Amino acid sequence: MNQTSDSPPAPAAATPRPRERRQRVQAAETGMAVLKSLGRLGGRASLTLLAAQLGESPAKVHRYLVSLMEEGLVAQDAASQQYFLGLEAMLLGLAALRQADPIRLAEPSLIRLRESLEVTCFVAVMGNKGPTIVRFEEPGLPVTVNVRMGSVLSLLWSATGRVFLASQDDARVRALAEAELADAPGELRAQLDPADPIGRLRREVLTQGCATVRDTNLKGISAVSAPLLDHAGRPCAALTALGATGGFDAAPDGAIAQAVRREAEAASVLLGYQRG
Protein backbone atom coordinates (compact mmCIF):
# COMPACT_ATOMS: atom_id res chain seq x y z
CA MET A 1 0.00 0.00 0.00
CA ASN A 2 1.32 3.45 -0.93
CA GLN A 3 2.29 5.87 1.83
CA THR A 4 -0.27 8.71 2.22
CA SER A 5 0.40 12.27 3.37
CA ASP A 6 -0.83 11.23 6.82
CA SER A 7 1.66 8.40 7.09
CA PRO A 8 4.49 8.84 9.59
CA PRO A 9 7.81 10.02 8.07
CA ALA A 10 10.45 7.47 7.22
CA PRO A 11 12.76 6.83 10.13
CA ALA A 12 15.97 8.89 10.14
CA ALA A 13 19.33 7.22 9.89
CA ALA A 14 20.33 5.72 13.18
CA THR A 15 22.49 8.05 15.23
CA PRO A 16 25.71 6.67 16.76
CA ARG A 17 25.29 5.30 20.21
CA PRO A 18 27.02 7.18 23.07
CA ARG A 19 29.65 4.46 23.30
CA GLU A 20 30.38 4.72 19.56
CA ARG A 21 30.71 8.49 19.84
CA ARG A 22 33.13 8.14 22.75
CA GLN A 23 35.20 5.67 20.76
CA ARG A 24 35.35 8.08 17.83
CA VAL A 25 36.40 10.95 20.10
CA GLN A 26 39.05 8.79 21.74
CA ALA A 27 40.36 7.78 18.31
CA ALA A 28 40.57 11.45 17.28
CA GLU A 29 42.37 12.31 20.53
CA THR A 30 44.89 9.52 19.96
CA GLY A 31 45.47 10.65 16.39
CA MET A 32 46.10 14.21 17.55
CA ALA A 33 48.43 12.91 20.27
CA VAL A 34 50.48 11.11 17.61
CA LEU A 35 50.64 14.25 15.49
CA LYS A 36 51.62 16.49 18.44
CA SER A 37 54.26 14.05 19.63
CA LEU A 38 55.78 14.01 16.17
CA GLY A 39 55.93 17.79 16.33
CA ARG A 40 57.55 17.76 19.77
CA LEU A 41 60.21 15.38 18.45
CA GLY A 42 61.24 17.96 15.89
CA GLY A 43 58.80 16.95 13.17
CA ARG A 44 60.61 13.72 12.26
CA ALA A 45 60.99 10.43 14.17
CA SER A 46 61.09 6.65 13.84
CA LEU A 47 58.10 4.54 14.74
CA THR A 48 59.97 3.13 17.75
CA LEU A 49 60.82 6.56 19.15
CA LEU A 50 57.34 7.90 18.52
CA ALA A 51 55.72 4.90 20.25
CA ALA A 52 58.05 5.32 23.24
CA GLN A 53 57.19 9.02 23.43
CA LEU A 54 53.48 8.19 23.49
CA GLY A 55 53.75 5.14 25.75
CA GLU A 56 51.85 3.08 23.18
CA SER A 57 52.66 -0.06 21.21
CA PRO A 58 54.34 0.45 17.80
CA ALA A 59 51.51 -1.50 16.14
CA LYS A 60 48.87 0.89 17.51
CA VAL A 61 50.87 4.01 16.64
CA HIS A 62 51.46 2.65 13.13
CA ARG A 63 47.71 2.35 12.53
CA TYR A 64 47.23 5.99 13.35
CA LEU A 65 50.21 7.03 11.26
CA VAL A 66 48.70 5.27 8.25
CA SER A 67 45.48 7.26 8.67
CA LEU A 68 47.41 10.52 9.09
CA MET A 69 49.42 9.73 5.97
CA GLU A 70 46.21 9.20 3.99
CA GLU A 71 45.16 12.74 4.99
CA GLY A 72 48.53 14.26 4.08
CA LEU A 73 49.31 15.25 7.66
CA VAL A 74 52.23 12.81 7.89
CA ALA A 75 54.64 11.36 5.32
CA GLN A 76 57.33 8.70 5.45
CA ASP A 77 60.92 8.83 4.23
CA ALA A 78 61.43 5.77 2.01
CA ALA A 79 65.16 5.59 2.77
CA SER A 80 65.16 5.98 6.56
CA GLN A 81 61.57 4.81 7.20
CA GLN A 82 61.17 7.77 9.53
CA TYR A 83 57.88 9.64 9.69
CA PHE A 84 57.71 13.41 9.28
CA LEU A 85 55.09 16.13 9.17
CA GLY A 86 53.40 16.25 5.78
CA LEU A 87 52.28 19.06 3.51
CA GLU A 88 48.84 19.44 5.11
CA ALA A 89 50.46 19.82 8.54
CA MET A 90 52.78 22.50 7.16
CA LEU A 91 49.85 24.36 5.60
CA LEU A 92 48.03 24.28 8.94
CA GLY A 93 51.14 25.61 10.67
CA LEU A 94 51.52 28.44 8.17
CA ALA A 95 47.88 29.40 8.61
CA ALA A 96 48.38 29.51 12.39
CA LEU A 97 51.55 31.61 12.04
CA ARG A 98 49.70 34.15 9.90
CA GLN A 99 47.33 34.65 12.83
CA ALA A 100 50.16 35.04 15.36
CA ASP A 101 49.87 38.80 15.77
CA PRO A 102 51.92 39.77 18.86
CA ILE A 103 49.85 42.87 19.52
CA ARG A 104 46.56 40.97 19.52
CA LEU A 105 47.89 37.96 21.43
CA ALA A 106 49.58 40.15 24.07
CA GLU A 107 46.42 42.13 24.81
CA PRO A 108 45.07 39.77 27.53
CA SER A 109 48.48 39.86 29.24
CA LEU A 110 48.52 43.64 29.01
CA ILE A 111 45.11 43.93 30.65
CA ARG A 112 45.97 41.40 33.38
CA LEU A 113 49.10 43.39 34.24
CA ARG A 114 47.19 46.65 34.37
CA GLU A 115 44.49 45.19 36.61
CA SER A 116 46.73 43.16 38.93
CA LEU A 117 49.51 45.72 39.36
CA GLU A 118 47.46 48.90 38.80
CA VAL A 119 50.23 50.41 36.70
CA THR A 120 50.52 51.75 33.18
CA CYS A 121 51.38 49.00 30.67
CA PHE A 122 52.08 48.90 26.97
CA VAL A 123 53.26 46.76 24.06
CA ALA A 124 56.01 48.07 21.77
CA VAL A 125 57.51 46.83 18.51
CA MET A 126 60.77 47.74 16.81
CA GLY A 127 60.10 50.47 14.25
CA ASN A 128 62.35 52.25 11.77
CA LYS A 129 63.33 54.90 14.32
CA GLY A 130 63.39 52.66 17.39
CA PRO A 131 61.04 50.90 19.85
CA THR A 132 57.53 52.23 19.19
CA ILE A 133 54.47 51.92 21.45
CA VAL A 134 51.56 50.28 19.62
CA ARG A 135 49.15 49.34 22.45
CA PHE A 136 48.68 51.29 25.69
CA GLU A 137 46.70 50.56 28.88
CA GLU A 138 46.33 52.81 31.92
CA PRO A 139 44.94 52.02 35.39
CA GLY A 140 42.07 53.91 36.98
CA LEU A 141 44.47 56.49 38.39
CA PRO A 142 47.11 56.75 35.67
CA VAL A 143 50.60 58.07 36.25
CA THR A 144 51.15 61.11 34.07
CA VAL A 145 53.97 60.25 31.67
CA ASN A 146 54.94 61.73 28.34
CA VAL A 147 54.52 58.48 26.39
CA ARG A 148 51.53 57.48 24.31
CA MET A 149 50.62 55.37 21.30
CA GLY A 150 53.23 55.97 18.63
CA SER A 151 55.91 57.22 21.03
CA VAL A 152 59.44 56.17 20.06
CA LEU A 153 61.57 55.16 23.04
CA SER A 154 65.28 55.22 23.75
CA LEU A 155 67.21 52.01 23.07
CA LEU A 156 69.70 52.72 25.85
CA TRP A 157 67.75 54.45 28.60
CA SER A 158 64.29 52.88 28.46
CA ALA A 159 63.52 49.38 29.73
CA THR A 160 61.68 48.67 26.48
CA GLY A 161 64.62 49.75 24.36
CA ARG A 162 67.05 47.66 26.37
CA VAL A 163 64.92 44.57 25.73
CA PHE A 164 65.22 45.07 21.97
CA LEU A 165 68.90 45.95 22.26
CA ALA A 166 69.62 42.74 24.16
CA SER A 167 67.46 40.31 22.24
CA GLN A 168 67.96 41.50 18.66
CA ASP A 169 71.37 40.73 17.22
CA ASP A 170 70.78 43.20 14.43
CA ALA A 171 73.27 45.59 12.83
CA ARG A 172 70.58 48.27 12.39
CA VAL A 173 69.60 48.15 16.05
CA ARG A 174 73.25 48.31 17.07
CA ALA A 175 73.82 51.32 14.81
CA LEU A 176 70.83 53.15 16.29
CA ALA A 177 72.14 52.46 19.81
CA GLU A 178 75.65 53.66 18.96
CA ALA A 179 74.27 56.87 17.42
CA GLU A 180 72.15 57.44 20.51
CA LEU A 181 75.16 56.89 22.75
CA ALA A 182 77.27 59.34 20.77
CA ASP A 183 74.58 62.06 21.02
CA ALA A 184 73.77 61.51 24.73
CA PRO A 185 74.77 64.07 27.36
CA GLY A 186 77.58 63.15 29.73
CA GLU A 187 75.26 62.56 32.71
CA LEU A 188 73.44 59.81 30.83
CA ARG A 189 76.60 58.22 29.46
CA ALA A 190 77.99 58.17 33.00
CA GLN A 191 75.24 55.71 33.98
CA LEU A 192 76.67 53.08 31.63
CA ASP A 193 79.80 50.96 31.73
CA PRO A 194 82.51 53.14 30.13
CA ALA A 195 84.43 50.12 28.81
CA ASP A 196 81.53 48.33 27.10
CA PRO A 197 78.27 50.26 27.58
CA ILE A 198 76.13 48.43 25.02
CA GLY A 199 77.58 44.97 25.68
CA ARG A 200 77.08 45.32 29.43
CA LEU A 201 73.43 46.31 28.97
CA ARG A 202 72.82 43.33 26.68
CA ARG A 203 74.36 40.87 29.12
CA GLU A 204 72.38 42.21 32.09
CA VAL A 205 69.04 41.94 30.28
CA LEU A 206 69.75 38.45 28.95
CA THR A 207 70.77 37.27 32.42
CA GLN A 208 67.72 38.76 34.14
CA GLY A 209 65.19 37.88 31.44
CA CYS A 210 63.94 41.45 31.59
CA ALA A 211 65.14 45.05 31.59
CA THR A 212 64.63 47.50 34.46
CA VAL A 213 65.21 51.25 34.78
CA ARG A 214 64.80 53.79 37.59
CA ASP A 215 64.62 57.53 36.81
CA THR A 216 66.65 56.90 33.64
CA ASN A 217 64.53 57.66 30.61
CA LEU A 218 62.01 59.78 32.53
CA LYS A 219 62.70 61.38 35.90
CA GLY A 220 60.46 59.99 38.61
CA ILE A 221 59.45 57.01 36.48
CA SER A 222 60.61 53.40 36.74
CA ALA A 223 59.85 50.56 34.35
CA VAL A 224 60.21 46.83 33.73
CA SER A 225 60.08 45.24 30.28
CA ALA A 226 60.34 41.69 28.92
CA PRO A 227 60.48 40.33 25.35
CA LEU A 228 57.76 38.51 23.44
CA LEU A 229 59.37 35.72 21.41
CA ASP A 230 58.01 34.15 18.24
CA HIS A 231 58.09 30.49 17.17
CA ALA A 232 61.77 30.79 16.24
CA GLY A 233 62.75 32.47 19.53
CA ARG A 234 63.11 35.88 17.89
CA PRO A 235 61.89 38.98 19.75
CA CYS A 236 58.86 40.46 18.01
CA ALA A 237 57.57 42.84 20.70
CA ALA A 238 58.17 43.98 24.26
CA LEU A 239 55.74 44.03 27.18
CA THR A 240 56.38 46.90 29.60
CA ALA A 241 55.00 48.12 32.94
CA LEU A 242 55.87 51.54 34.36
CA GLY A 243 54.97 53.72 37.30
CA ALA A 244 56.08 56.43 39.70
CA THR A 245 59.43 55.46 41.19
CA GLY A 246 58.35 55.91 44.80
CA GLY A 247 55.69 53.19 44.60
CA PHE A 248 57.06 51.02 41.82
CA ASP A 249 59.36 48.09 42.56
CA ALA A 250 61.71 47.83 39.58
CA ALA A 251 63.96 45.18 41.09
CA PRO A 252 64.71 42.37 38.60
CA ASP A 253 63.51 39.79 41.16
CA GLY A 254 60.60 41.89 42.46
CA ALA A 255 56.90 41.16 42.12
CA ILE A 256 56.41 43.46 39.13
CA ALA A 257 59.34 42.00 37.18
CA GLN A 258 58.11 38.48 37.92
CA ALA A 259 54.61 39.35 36.70
CA VAL A 260 55.89 41.01 33.52
CA ARG A 261 58.16 38.05 32.71
CA ARG A 262 55.34 35.61 33.38
CA GLU A 263 52.90 37.43 31.09
CA ALA A 264 55.54 37.85 28.37
CA GLU A 265 56.24 34.13 28.50
CA ALA A 266 52.50 33.35 28.29
CA ALA A 267 52.13 35.55 25.20
CA SER A 268 55.26 34.00 23.68
CA VAL A 269 53.72 30.54 24.00
CA LEU A 270 50.68 31.77 22.05
CA LEU A 271 53.08 33.02 19.39
CA GLY A 272 54.48 29.50 19.04
CA TYR A 273 57.60 29.84 21.18
CA GLN A 274 58.81 26.71 22.96
CA ARG A 275 61.61 26.94 25.48
CA GLY A 276 64.48 24.68 24.44
One DSSP character per residue, 238-260 reads EEEEEEEGGG----TTSHHHHHH
pLDDT of residue 240: 95
pLDDT of residue 216: 83
pLDDT of residue 252: 93
Other C-beta atoms closer than 10 Å to the C-beta of 33 total: 16
pLDDT of residue 271: 85
CATH number assigned to the domain covering 102-271 = 3.30.450.40
CATH number assigned to the domain covering 26-98 = 1.10.10.10
Q: Is the pTM of this model over 0.85?
A: no
pLDDT of residue 5: 45
pLDDT of residue 223: 93
Q: Give the contacts of 5 (CB within 8 A, at least 6 positions apart).
A: none
- pLDDT tens digits in sequence order for the chain, 276 residues long: 444 445 455 555 555 565 566 666 788 888 889 888 888 888 888 999 999 989 999 999 999 999 899 888 899 988 899 999 888 887 777 666 565 567 788 888 988 998 888 888 999 988 888 899 988 888 766 555 666 778 889 999 999 999 999 877 778 888 888 998 988 888 888 888 888 988 899 999 999 999 999 988 777 889 999 999 988 888 889 999 998 888 888 999 999 999 999 999 999 988 888 876
- Where in the chain are the domains? 26-98, 102-271
What φ, ψ does residue 12 adopt, rounded to 5°? Answer: -70, 160
